[in-house]
Structure 1
């Protein structure tokens, strides 16, 4: 006999798919603030219909975020943060080139996997507590926070996310699941690398490359040296990657370059590794006599596995009660807003949204038959966490 939560989720699936179609068709590229505001209007309307009340609308530097708070207002009440975003990477017009469809159980359309499906699941899971089907919140609380700038690094929402997370029992991140160790989709994420970004600027001295190159100070030569030094900061055994990306140097083919710069992407599993690399960048010195300046630093702390392990074990236990089999959890290189919540010391489990693949790519897709059981899992996990 099917678990009552699975029965409920199966019955709710048509409504979830209807909400999802509307969200996918309402395009929301992060940099288009008008589009993000329009998307927030739609998310607000869907949430009000399902939860029974409108969210707080939080506009920060023009970016629209939404917050629903359910249950006890007592500051000491156990609270879980459901964390989602409604912005996508897809530019306006993508719905024409990548139309919404469901065929053979596969959903396609811009943002279906990252992360409109997870957002819909979060709304419907929270709704079960709003009307009492999921459980009573007289002595507990849930916050559903939906941000509008995750895809560009959460510049306006980071402080809001950290504020909402502090004091919570746990944060459940509705980003999509990943591929498990055996390649099967659907793995929850118990670790994400932290991200640091650096810019190295070099100032040399220009001169004519043909008549008096000796009077110049070649910024390109210094750039080449510094790239070699920076590559040495990586530690493959620790999982720390240091990748020079965008580089610029010089002005014309017959001029000794006076200026150069390059960007570096750093990913690390631990705070200690982030700090080690940050200190190494601070010690960069010139090889040729050119001026070397470093800017940037840590963008997102890592979601270390220690922050996720307890919630992951509870997710495994409640999944067994539902009769579901979860794949082994994974650690991934990409970051999410869960990095911020783990960074302020809150237990965090990620990847509780869509099952599918192709994030940001032409083949982005999500599987219909995974939506109901994963939403039931979300409700069961919320119950468990709030019950202590």
Structure 2
């Protein structure tokens, strides 16, 4: 018979929950809140038009001090209908489906761990389950900062490194949009009276890519849109960029170059704005100490863990940059995040459930950090 955790992952996976789809997110939120309530959490929401952020709290029992804050999300990169071509499947230890690895299995492990410490002494536990993490958490930043300010430690429930190692730092991540306004005209009869916004955008992208290439940053042009008809000089165009930084100085310099873009064409206008921003989280002594304590607790369970920085970004960028002791990657091991090959390990779910139970329990992180 499948375990309750396995059954929960199936329920969460078949409730597809792409970022920005408020109706689909609401359906999964109701299921998650019901399960969180059964695990002992008090639940609340911070409402947003594109999806509510979920706030769960477990009052302290027998352990004084600041809370442990856990960060997760319930949005995925997969649109509704993905299950038709990427169905839930199980083959041995491998479980597949949209969002199983990033990061619905992490939510399963957390709720199973909370249920296991019911009736035991434990610190206060606070959880934020973000609705728009996959686009940079543009509406959740203030919430994450406020909760982090009073937390003893922050644990991220994002996927780990391949093999299961934890994450102790992250590149800064910014989503930016370059917008161009041109002048529409008939493309054959009077092209010289127009200013093509798409051509201007292409020139701006070529220029900005050359600027970015001079620094150790990652730049991805994610989307381009504009124009309307082949017989009309395009009047509008825009491109969304993904930027990743290891050094805040490179970030500041490149964003300055982005703000300084000027049009090549006389009648075109160019502007740039930030869609979301996550600061660089650099490894620090507080995070290293937290990793050592997690490693020790894991060793007591027969698990071997290590940690290192990651290229990807998450809400732990925010807490780590604030100087809060932060470690991420506590979701179960697997692979294929944001890819059709996405999978999670059934054995990894059991491992992470056991580890989270130990971290939150009476002999876990808070007593050890006193």
TM-score when normalising by structure 1 = 0.81
Q: Deviations over 1:311-342 (max 9, x none)?
A: 2232223223332222553412x222222322
* Residue number in structure 1 paired with 2:255: 278
Q: Secondary structure at the match of 1:16?
A: helix
**For residue 70 of structure 2, what is the aligned residue in structure 1?**
82
The whole-number CA distance in structure 1 between the counterparts of 2:50 and 2:177 is 27
Per-residue deviation, 1:377: 2.2
Cα-to-partner distance string for 1:196-223 (whole Å, 9 max, x where unaligned): 2222233444566666655555545543
Q: CA deviation at 1:284?
A: 1.9
1:173 partnered with 2:156: yes
Partner of 1:386: 366
Q: Is the 8 A contact 1:19 1:120 kept in 2?
A: yes
Q: Counterparts of 1:96 and 1:242 in 2: how far apart (Å)?
A: 32
Give the conservation status (yes or no) of the 8 Å contact 1:118–1:354: yes
Task: Report if the CA contact (8 A) 2:138-2:276 is conserved.
Answer: no
Q: How many residues align?
A: 362
Match of 2:243 in 1: 266
In 2: Cα distance, 1:70 partner to 1:272 partner: 39
- Kindly tell me: are residues 208 and 109 of structure 1, through their superposed partners in 2, closer, same or farther at Cα, counting changes over 3 Å? closer
The structure-2 alpha-carbon separation of the partners of 1:320 and 1:223, relative to structure 1 and needing over 3 Å to count, comes to: same
The residue aligned with 2:146 is 163
Aligned with 1:284: secondary structure?
coil
User: Hey, what does 1:148 align to over in structure 2?
Assistant: 131
Q: Which residue matches 1:372? A: 350
Change (3 A) 1:157 1:245: closer
Q: Deviations over 1:253-298 (max 9, x none)?
A: 5665554433322111233322221111122223343432222265
| d(CA) in 1 for partners of 2:185, 2:78 | 45
Cα pair 1:167 1:346 within 8 Å, conserved: no
1:73/1:106 CA distance change after superposition, 3 Å: closer
**CA 16–227 in structure 1, closer or farther in 2 if over 3 Å, else same:** same
* The one of 353, 368, 373 aligned to 2:331: 353
Deviation by residue 1:3-55 (Cα, 9 ceiling, x = unmatched) = xxxxxxxxxx923223222222333333332222221221122222222x542
- Contiguous gaps of at least 5 residues in structure 1: 1-12, 180-184
The within-5 A match list for 1:205-224 is: 205=183, 216-217=194-195, 219-224=197-202
**CA-atom RMSD in angstroms:** 3.0
The answer on whether the counterparts of 2:136 and 2:276 sit within 8 Å (CA) in structure 1 is no
CA shift at 1:386, angstroms? 0.9
Deviations 1:324-370 (A, max 9, x none): 222553412x2222223224332221111021112233322111112
1:92 aligns with 2:80: yes
Separation in 1, partners of 2:192, 2:13: 59
- Equivalent residue, structure 2, for 1:312: 291
Deviates more, 1:286-295 or 1:361-370: 286-295
The separation in 2 between residues aligned to 1:40 and 1:342, in whole angstroms, is 27
Q: 1:89 to 1:261 in 2, by over 3 A?
A: closer
2:220 aligns to what SS in structure 1?
strand
Runs of 5+ unmatched residues, structure 2: none
1:68 lines up with 2:56 in the alignment: yes
Deviation of 1:191 (Å):
2.3
Q: Using the alignment, how far apart are the partners of 1:126 and 1:45 within structure 2?
A: 14
User: Could you tell me whether the CA contact under 8 Å between 1:178 and 1:330 is conserved in 2?
Assistant: no
Partners in 1 of 2:16 and 2:207 — Cα distance? Answer: 43
How much does 1:156 deviate? Answer: 3.4
Q: CA deviation at 1:121?
A: 0.8
Q: Which residue of 2 aligns with 1:9?
A: none
Mapped contact 2:19–2:75 kept (Cα < 8 A): yes
Displacement of 1:118 in angstroms is 0.5
Q: Give 1:119-268 correspondences, 5 Å limit.
A: 119-132=107-120, 136-137=121-122, 140-179=123-162, 185-205=163-183, 216-217=194-195, 219-234=197-212, 238=216, 240-248=217-225, 253=230, 257-268=234-245
